[in-house]
A and B are shown apart, each in its own frame.
Chain A
Amino acid sequence: MKKDKTMSRRDFVGAAAAAAAFTVVPRHVLGGAGHAAPSEKLNIAGIGAGGQAAHDLRQMESENIVALCDVDWRRARGMFQRHPDARRYRDFREMLDKEGDKIDAVVVATPDHMHAVASMAAIKRGKHVYCEKPLTHDVYEARVLAEAARKAGVATQMGNQGQASEGTRLMCETIWDGAIGEVREVHVWTDRPMRGINGLYWPQGVGRPTDRPSIPDAVAWDLWLGTAPERPYHPDYMPFKWRGWWDFGTGALGDIGCHSIDPVFRALKLGHPTSVEACCTIVNEETFPVASRVTYEFPARQGLAPVTLHWYDGGMKPPRPKELEDGRAWDTNGTLFVGDKGKMLGNRLIPEARQQAYGKPPKVLDRSPGHYQEWIDACKGGKPAGSNFPDHAGLLAQVVLLGNLALQPSLKEKVARTKLLWDGEAMKVTNLPEANQFLKREYREGWTL
């Protein structure tokens, strides 16, 4: 039995035509690449095994964790010990080469600058991909990755787990129920980078370190750099603090935007904006600013009014709404919908009396079996996960990352004089051509998408 299973898996991961030869495969699977049958366990490999990767992989332990790859074996130690049978790698390319016929799916939870190349390498091999948010580092990468996932027919999911929550559904259903009327203005804010995961802070607004500490034995620095330009190792970059550096991370907006803008995207059925404009604290070429505001304008769509979305980070937030009761917390993270018939903070109308009077909206959305389970199900031939790349995450990530384009240090003087007009279909800024160079960065030699 065990042997059979292995054989069938090997065939699944082969060409779609080969998979089609097995009549036991559910019908709806046939259109795509190999999907494991629901009764089988997936063989999953981790690209990134410490930090958030460890968290993600632990949610998937109903499946087989067969291989683990990390450029920092210190950080990976916990997962290595937890899955002693999983084969260990430092270079995901080597892992995919060696394990190619043994794995069904990969979980990509590296620093942002490696998301696209790692995910793409997996997709090209017909692997299902769970990739942490933001989907990629650049707008272009997000677009190309989503297209590749669609073409390959693999199951995908971005790591914005809130999309599976009841809260997101309530938010959508309340808006769709017309509880606050037409929405023309939305505010989304976070206190990051002030407080990141577990209360950690990652510096922004700082310059490049000049000292050169020696590389720890457990770290494959060149592999950590991956697509990024060469620079000496420094603990200011890794682990975790890479988020603040333009070459590696995507700042507070990249970190949290895919979480907190996601439900807004769904509730307001957003697509590409028509313009983006930003301001921020003092900039430098190395790290993201300490605080910023990014303002997107979305056109009328699907019968909905045009809407302006304001993003704030670094402790900035919108004015306290008069509907919020005195004494009630005006949190340092939040989402405020401004409708022509009321306001909604998170997924509750304000003031609370209004929510109490309103009750609950009609349930029109399916409930989720859980963010990770959605993807596992999709890998086994179930319906696409809620934040799959082609239908949702690719576009969401492009829009989020477009905000970072407006924060580019070298564009600041120009952006101060105009908002950037965005042609989403053509993927270009139409009124400031030089901005388009930042849609797609150059990779270091030896790396391609």
Chain B
Amino acid sequence: MSKESSRVSRRNVLRGAVGTVGAFTFVPGHVLGKGGARPASERLNIAGIGVGGMGGGNLRACSKENIVALCDVDYGHAAGTFKKYPNARTYRDYRVMLDKEDKNIDGVIIATPDHTHAVIGMECIRRGKHVYLQKPLAHSIHEVRMLTEAARKHKVQTQMGNQGHSSNEIRLLHEWIQDGAIGPVREVFAWSDRPVGGNPWSDFPVMARPKERPTVPDKLDWDLWLGPAQYRPYHPIYHPLTWRGWWDFGTGALGDMGCHILDPVFWTLKLGHPTRVEAVTTHCVPEIAAETYPLASVVRYEFPARGDMPPVKLTWFDGRLLPPRPKDLEPGRKLGTNGALLMGDKGTIMHGSHGAGGVRMIPEVKMKAYKRPPKTLARVKDGSGGHERDWVRACKDGKSASSSFEYGGPLTEMVLLGVLAMRLKNTMLEWDGENMKVTNCDEADKYIRPAFREGWTL
């Protein structure tokens, strides 16, 4: 294939819409049936938006592709990644990058703070770019729904950054549950030690809004960092990393870890929309409660029966709170820092984070005695470590990635409903998932679809 035709076909891929692609008769036939995918022999042209932290790792996993452009509002934080890709053009404003590089980019890896996922993801999708977007998919339920629908409409390949969904363990869990290993599951407990995990990436502030006004670092464009969030003065307590703890920017421990830890049950138990959710939190000081996520919370979801599966109660704990010690857990074993318990009529399964990591039936003697069913589900090459490349593969062969927005969207909506319940703590929220409406609390609307700062739209 000539360079020229390659470029043209790329451009059409970028445009996304199948009809447009079909107009070019020289595009290989096998591509057409796959929604404008690209031949495997070609490299994708990838841009990164938000490349200083997690984004750097995601890009590294795609280093066999062309990393053509990098965008970050903080050139200081992004310096290391910029250096790794000396040929990539650098930008501060993703809108400028997408305008200037529109013809050169096939796919975008987005790893910004949660509050800018949606606006950036949407702009990329509208331009027909394939999108790898970090979890949680967005900051509000409305944003998630819009992204999911847009990705469907524009027929781009998507992947949410819950890499555990590409793991072998999540497939094992799925196969065991389908095998009836523990019988019908009626109760699930899940937990995370965040926001007090004890590491820089797992400790979020619980505090009132700072009053001092430090100077904005030279290399940071604070206004762009804020994006659609309401204006507030710069402070290093927001950026980098610790934005997760602030209502306006992050989604707390549940938003951060729920897309990992609740992913296995959401998938294997086909949970879908919950009907009710209620949360309790440790918040008691108004100036703190108004700004950051709580030191600890418990969120309780109720899911209705699905097909032949019974209703499920799912309880989320964070801040080092845990469910009562299960009877099946042998003395000497602990629940771990992040994980979940599936309580079945005939037994219990325990797993860790990131896609049912370390999945086991408990007690261990029961695991050992279990005759495992055949591995019927297709595995993702390299498991969790192959999550980004699974998206690259999807961009090329047109078959959905493991955690496309069709899946990652509903998962994130469920997670963010729990976040909403934390915001409206001590209130049993009745949830109409289809219509994105808490039917017994109108106050919820402003959190389901928060107002953007002037100049920003989805």
Mark A residues whose CB is within 8 Å of B: 191, 194-195, 201, 205, 277, 279-282, 290-291, 293, 295, 310, 314-317, 319-320, 326, 330, 332, 416-419, 431
Contact = CB atoms under 8 A, between A and B. Distances in A.
B315 A319 contact: yes
B324 interface: yes
B321 A282 contact: no
A194 B321 CA distance: 17
Nearest to B298: A316
Given A280-B320, A316-B321, A330-B428, A417 B334 contact: yes
Contacts of B230: none
Contacts, number: 77
A282 B426 contact: no
B200 interface: no
B63 interface: no
A315 B282 contact: yes
A419 B300 CA distance: 24
A12 B352 CA distance: 67
A418 B285 CA distance: 34
B84 interface: no
B280 A315 contact: yes
A205 B282 CA distance: 11
28 contacts: A191-B284, A194-B284, A195-B284, A279-B320, A279-B321, A280-B320, A281-B196, A281-B296, A281-B321, A282-B196, A282-B295, A290-B295, A291-B295, A291-B319, A295-B325, A310-B324, A315-B280, A315-B281, A315-B283, A316-B282, A317-B280, A319-B313, A330-B278, A330-B426, A416-B322, A416-B335, A417-B333, A418-B331
Contacts of B300: 319-320
B307 interface: no
A160 to B, nearest CB: 24
Given A205-B295, A291-B319, A417-B333, 8 more contacts: A293-B321, A315-B282, A315-B284, A316-B321, A320-B278, A417-B331, A418-B332, A431-B331
Given A281-B295, A282-B196, A282-B295, A201 B284 contact: yes
Given A290-B296, A416-B334, A417-B334, A279 B282 contact: no
A416 B322 CA distance: 10
Contacts of A316: 280, 282, 296, 298, 321
Interface of B: 196, 278, 280-285, 295-296, 298, 300, 313, 315, 319-322, 324-325, 331-335, 425-426, 428, 440
Nearest to A416: B334
Contacts of B334: 416-417
Contact residues of A: prevailing secondary structure: loop
A320 B300 CA distance: 9
A78 to B, nearest CB: 29
B319 A282 contact: yes
4 A-B pairs closest in CB distance: A194-B284, A279-B322, A416-B334, A282-B196
A281 B332 contact: no
Main secondary structure of the interface of B (DSSP, over half): loop
A415 to B, nearest CB: 9
Contacts of A291: 282, 295-296, 319, 321
A332 B282 contact: no
Nearest to A192: B284
Nearest to B198: A282
Contacts of A194: 282, 284
Contacts of B332: 417-418
Contacts of A191: 284
A310 B300 CA distance: 17
Given A316-B280, A332-B426, A295 B320 contact: no
Given A277-B324, A330-B428, A332-B426, A314 B282 contact: yes
A320 B320 contact: no
A390 to B, nearest CB: 33
B282 A281 contact: yes
Nearest to B278: A320
Contacts of A332: 426
A417 B283 CA distance: 28
Contacts of B335: 416
Contacts of B280: 315-317
A282 B284 contact: no
A379 to B, nearest CB: 40
B321 A290 contact: no
B347 to A, nearest CB: 20
B275 to A, nearest CB: 12
A319 B312 CA distance: 13
A64 to B, nearest CB: 42
B43 to A, nearest CB: 47
Contacts of B282: 194, 281, 290-291, 314-316
A437 to B, nearest CB: 20
Nearest to A205: B295
Most chain B CB within 10 A, of A191, A194, A295, A315, is at A315
A274 B220 CA distance: 59
